[in-house]
Amino acid sequence: MELKGKVALITGAASGIGKSTALLFAKEGAKVFLTDINEEGGKTLVNQIEESGGEATFLKADTSQSQDSEKSVAEAIKKFGKLDIAVNNAGIGGPQKPVGEYEIEAWDKVISINLSGVFYGMRYQIPAMLKNGAGSIINVASILGSVGFANAAAYVAAKHGVVGLTKSAALEYSAKGVRVNSVGPAFIKTPLLEGLDEELLSHLVNAHPIGRLGEADEVAQLFVWLASDRASFATGAYYPIDGGYLAQ
């Protein structure tokens, strides 16, 4: 029960890495406040956690809207009394097009969810954690927060931004008890990869020296450590979990 007595807010919790994180955090004793635009998936997940003896609640929220981030924090505190952990996980892939052909509207949407959404989250999570005198924020970046990837300019730019935003926040708040870190998963078997053709999927597998794609639960295991007191000296860092992708 690594996180017993802790309250965690997880965005993008209805599927993929967010869902695995919610399940594992609850198993480790945390009370989890879950948000997503997928209301049906979120409520199903709450039922799954409660049936396993955990505590969870769900709020439909869009991280690209600052008022939704403010409401999420307020409702989490109203429900559970405090906020100890935040996992800013919600994100989208966006279209696959070169920069010179990338639609402006698509760019704005990816940046608003993947980058501004993380800022909006921290903007309200940090003041709540300061009231406790402690907290851990985990921002989900990507290996593409460290390197480029053709035909994914908005995603790459947003994830690089998340890494930088994380470092700045850590410098500002670590001495006040709020640790802020980012995680860089490689390509993980989640709904974000659904719809890719077999040739591209095979290429992605071969891009990982470990010889496979990652599992969402493997990423969630790293989140548990970062959220726990075992990671008390870990802040301002970027943690790839990538099957060797960035070692090449």
Task: Check residue 196 and give its pLDDT.
Answer: 74
Percent of the chain whose predicted confidence (pLDDT) is above 70? 100
Alpha-carbon span 169 to 129, nearest angstrom: 13
As for how many domains the chain has, the answer is 1
Q: Report residue 98 as tokens.
A: 């070169």
121-140: per-residue pLDDT in tens? 999 999 999 999 999 999 99
Q: Is residue 232 part of a domain?
A: yes
Q: Is residue 153 part of a domain?
A: yes
Query: For the chain, how big is the Rg over CA atoms in Å?
Result: 17
Percent of the chain whose predicted confidence (pLDDT) is above 90? 93
Q: What is the pTM of this model?
A: 0.96
Which one is catalytic: 102, 124, 155, 173? 155
Strands 7-10 and 135-140: what pairing?
Answer: unpaired
Q: Is residue 72 part of a domain?
A: yes
Average pLDDT over residues 114-120: 98
pLDDT at 148 over 80: yes
Q: Does the annotation mark 238 as catalytic?
A: no
Q: Is residue 2 part of a domain?
A: no
Q: Is residue 88 part of a domain?
A: yes
Task: Check residue 192 and give its pLDDT.
Answer: 73
69-84: per-residue pLDDT in tens? 999 999 999 999 999 9
pLDDT band at 60 (very low <50, low <70, confident <90, very high): very high
CB 9 within 8 A of CB 76: yes
Q: Which residues pair with 134 in a beta bridge?
A: none
- Residue type present at position 183: V
Strands 135-140 and 85-88: what pairing?
Answer: parallel
Residue entry with tokens 């760019």: 107
Q: Is residue 1 part of a domain?
A: no
Containing structural domain, residue 25: 7-243
Q: Is residue 220 part of a domain?
A: yes
Mean of pLDDT over the chain:
96
Q: Give the dihedral of Cα atoms 23, 214, 195, 14; nearest 10 deg.
A: 10
Alpha-carbon span 7 to 87, nearest angstrom: 11
CATH number of the domain within which 47 lies:
3.40.50.720
